[in-house]
A and B are shown apart, each in its own frame.
Chain A
Amino acid sequence: MYTFSSKLKTLSIVLMILGILGIGYGFLNAPKNTADVEKILKDEEAHHGGGHHEAAAESTHEMPKVLSAEEHHAAAQHEEATHEVAEAAKDTASVKLLDTISVDSTKVAVAPVEEEHHAEAKTAHAEEHHLTAAEEKAHHEEHVNHVLHQLQNKPWSALYVACIFVMLISLGALAFYAIQQVAQAGWSPVLFRVMQGITAYLPVGSVIFFVLLVLCGLHYNHIFVWMADGVTEKGHENYDKLVAAKSGYLNFPFWIIRAAIFLIGWNLYRYFSRKNCLAQDESSDNSFYKKNFNISAMFLVFFIVTESIMSWDWIMSVDPHWFSTLFGWYVFASFFVSGITTIALVTLYLKSKGYLEHVNNSHIHDLAKFMFGISVFWTYLWFSQFMLIWYADIPEEVTYFWTRIELYNLPFFGAVVMNFVFPILILINSDFKRLTWIVVMAGIVILFGHYVDFFNMIMPGTVGDRWFIGIPEIGSLCFFIGLFLLVVFTALTKAPLLPKRNPFIEESKHFHY
């Protein structure tokens, strides 16, 4: 039996307290109204005034927002045009340019981003046609309102990303566990109790996550634009034709019922699988093992369907104008590899404390192989999604990556480095896969990389260019990691770490690669 070390317990509680403080700080620091935003924008202007828009400096002093690189370039070209060609030609050129910009980024963009580029395009317009003061004021107000939404979203999104990421880690571990059962793997039964410990977070995480989803539905935040008032109402100022057309699927009651079904389904499997596994210890035949085999097979079918829908509901619908067919697989790969990595890290921790006498470095080697292989699988899906959209360059699809590359350049490509380049170079070596410190180091990088991956999936649609990995983000992550450690290691103390009567346990004890 495992006894929860008091040091680890203290650590998890400290993490949770620090996390709550960080989360609270994030919410307190979010602007309450447009007046706060005006102040923030003024401060920003003072901070990086001029430097950013050299090319367009003369005419864009009133520009409320820093131009992104592409438009910056466009603006620069534009300036040249104004100097070199005649008035008429200039006007056509400007219209053309603006057209390109709006086709590229406005027409069908992610909703908040859409507004943003509207604002930009219009400001650019204003600069050309000298809009009246009243119109300019209206644009400014629109922009301030937009920034207000982004900044108010920030602590919520930080909470949402950390919450879904840590919950999906335990779901990934659960999927891996079910696969091991169904595949009748001979190596992994010694790790079943570790996996069950990790999946013990699922019920806790599900409840918190579900509450968060309900709060979204009650309009406590603007994470999901399709939930806003009047989006489906013709004639309303928020009316959005594209979202309205999807409202048969994207409406709150249906959405929250789906979420409930998925979470309950996963938790039921976890509950019964663990119950049967413990009952098998005391049993005199293999009936509970066979029961577990059957429910695992059924769970995997249920899982792959619900996982796909879950990824549309909880992640893709943050950008309701965008869709991708392999998105479900991509999300799956991301949390599946995180789940496996967590299994490896918890196993190594318990092993180092002397609790897993039958786990040898061949088991670690196998886990590391899975970390390596699924990391490559994630990259394959990441690249397939990116490259297909980049290659065809269809405006309504490409905006998704356009915002990420323009505004999230470092996290977007940094995730590829952390989730692909690093593991492929480190974990390709068979000897390295047996070394504790290598696997731990690679595991930490992979986990952090997949947090950034989830960050990249959610944040551009909710906070746009206002992202930062600051106190709210780190605080949320600390809180959920602390909770995860507390729940998981408490669960590990509840049952012996070695299943007794599993038909493959002897093989697993002597597993040698």
Chain B
Amino acid sequence: MSSNKVIYAIYNDDDVLMDAVKKTRAAHHHIEEVFTPFPVHGLDKAMGIAPTRLAICAFIYGLCGLSFATWMMNNIMISDWPQDIGGKPSFSYIQNMPAFVPVMFEMTVFFAAHLMVITFYMRSRLWPFKEAENPDVRTTDDHFLMEVAVKGNEDDMVAFFQNTGAVEVKVIEKH
């Protein structure tokens, strides 16, 4: 059981891949990873992946941006140096608020967008000069690859994946 072996089952059609994923899940084989050249609609659901929480992050980042903008404009325009600029009332934040709304809005969007993107990069471990992780170069073009951990009888598993319509089934020792 403590082998590092994995099976690479390679498909050349996303419908076949979806069927294979469902069968694999039904047979209780653990899918390590699926590599596809483009997003396959419904794949995450078929694999049973938990929904992303990125939108919740973005909402919170947006609130941070809104708070920051409010604090900044209040500090600069009201607290620090409340000048009379063209008759705008700078006695309190609320009095001059309409003038700050464009800033507040843009800051909210800016924080929400950028911090969410950075969160995405960090969570998916993407950065410049990162070494690519393709198990097979064809997966970026027109092939789909499912990586499954080998547990139990290796030959049975190979036979199983050949039956799911794979064009190629390889057993690889992973380090």
The interface of chain A, by Cβ under 8 A from chain B, is 383, 386-387, 390-391, 393, 428, 430
The 8 A-B residue pairs with the shortest CB-CB distance, nearest first, are: A387-B98, A390-B98, A391-B99, A383-B101, A387-B101, A391-B98, A386-B98, A428-B59
CB-defined contacts of B59 to chain A, threshold 8 Å: 428
CB-defined contacts of A383 to chain B, threshold 8 Å: 98, 101
CB-defined contacts of A386 to chain B, threshold 8 Å: 98
Chain A CB within 8 A of B128 CB: no
CB-defined contacts of B55 to chain A, threshold 8 Å: 430
Shortest CB-to-CB span from B86 to chain A, Å, is 9
12 interchain pairs (CB within 8 A)?
A383-B98, A383-B101, A386-B98, A387-B98, A387-B99, A387-B101, A390-B98, A391-B98, A391-B99, A393-B87, A428-B59, A430-B55
CB-defined contacts of A428 to chain B, threshold 8 Å: 59
Distance between Cα atoms of A383 and B55 in the complex (Å): 26
| Per-residue interface assignment for chain B, residues 25 to 69, with 1 indicating a CB less than 8 Å from any chain A CB and 0 otherwise | 000000000000000000000000000000100010000000000
Distance between Cα atoms of A428 and B56 in the complex (Å): 10
| Per-residue interface assignment for chain B, residues 92 to 107, with 1 indicating a CB less than 8 Å from any chain A CB and 0 otherwise | 0000001101000000
Residue of B nearest to A383 (CB): B101
CB-defined contacts of B101 to chain A, threshold 8 Å: 383, 387
CB-defined contacts of A387 to chain B, threshold 8 Å: 98-99, 101
Interface residue tally for chain B (C-beta within 8 Å) = 6
Distance between Cα atoms of A141 and B101 in the complex (Å): 45
Shortest CB-to-CB span from B66 to chain A, Å, is 12
Distance between Cα atoms of A383 and B104 in the complex (Å): 13
The interface of chain B, by Cβ under 8 A from chain A, is 55, 59, 87, 98-99, 101
Distance between Cα atoms of A386 and B55 in the complex (Å): 31
Distance between Cα atoms of A386 and B99 in the complex (Å): 11
Shortest CB-to-CB span from B98 to chain A, Å, is 5
Residue of A nearest to B42 (CB): A512
CB-defined contacts of A430 to chain B, threshold 8 Å: 55
Shortest CB-to-CB span from B1 to chain A, Å, is 40
Shortest CB-to-CB span from B15 to chain A, Å, is 17
Distance between Cα atoms of A428 and B108 in the complex (Å): 15
Residue of B nearest to A393 (CB): B87
CB-defined contacts of B98 to chain A, threshold 8 Å: 383, 386-387, 390-391
Residue of A nearest to B99 (CB): A391
Shortest CB-to-CB span from B94 to chain A, Å, is 11
Shortest CB-to-CB span from B56 to chain A, Å, is 9
Residue of A nearest to B62 (CB): A428
Residue of A nearest to B88 (CB): A391
9 more A-B contacts (CB under 8 A) besides A383-B98, A386-B98, A387-B101? Answer: A383-B101, A387-B98, A387-B99, A390-B98, A391-B98, A391-B99, A393-B87, A428-B59, A430-B55
CB-defined contacts of B99 to chain A, threshold 8 Å: 387, 391
CB-defined contacts of B87 to chain A, threshold 8 Å: 393
Distance between Cα atoms of A383 and B87 in the complex (Å): 20
Shortest CB-to-CB span from A203 to chain B, Å, is 41
CB-defined contacts of A391 to chain B, threshold 8 Å: 98-99
Distance between Cα atoms of A391 and B87 in the complex (Å): 10
CB-defined contacts of A390 to chain B, threshold 8 Å: 98
Shortest CB-to-CB span from B5 to chain A, Å, is 39
Residue of B nearest to A388 (CB): B98
Distance between Cα atoms of A386 and B97 in the complex (Å): 12
Residue of B nearest to A431 (CB): B51
Distance between Cα atoms of A430 and B59 in the complex (Å): 13
Residue of A nearest to B55 (CB): A430
Distance between Cα atoms of A393 and B99 in the complex (Å): 12
User: Which of B55, B98, B99, B101 has the most chain A CB atoms closer than 10 A to its own CB?
Assistant: B98
Distance between Cα atoms of A430 and B98 in the complex (Å): 30
Distance between Cα atoms of A390 and B59 in the complex (Å): 30
Residue of A nearest to B102 (CB): A387
Shortest CB-to-CB span from B84 to chain A, Å, is 13
Shortest CB-to-CB span from A425 to chain B, Å, is 10
Distance between Cα atoms of A113 and B24 in the complex (Å): 76
Residue of A nearest to B98 (CB): A387
Distance between Cα atoms of A390 and B102 in the complex (Å): 14
Distance between Cα atoms of A386 and B102 in the complex (Å): 13
Shortest CB-to-CB span from B124 to chain A, Å, is 21
Shortest CB-to-CB span from B103 to chain A, Å, is 12
Distance between Cα atoms of A383 and B97 in the complex (Å): 12
Shortest CB-to-CB span from B16 to chain A, Å, is 22
Distance between Cα atoms of A336 and B99 in the complex (Å): 28
Distance between Cα atoms of A495 and B59 in the complex (Å): 44
Shortest CB-to-CB span from B116 to chain A, Å, is 14
Residue of B nearest to A390 (CB): B98
Residue of A nearest to B56 (CB): A429
Shortest CB-to-CB span from B85 to chain A, Å, is 12
Residue of B nearest to A386 (CB): B98
Residue of A nearest to B87 (CB): A393
Distance between Cα atoms of A387 and B105 in the complex (Å): 14
Distance between Cα atoms of A390 and B55 in the complex (Å): 35
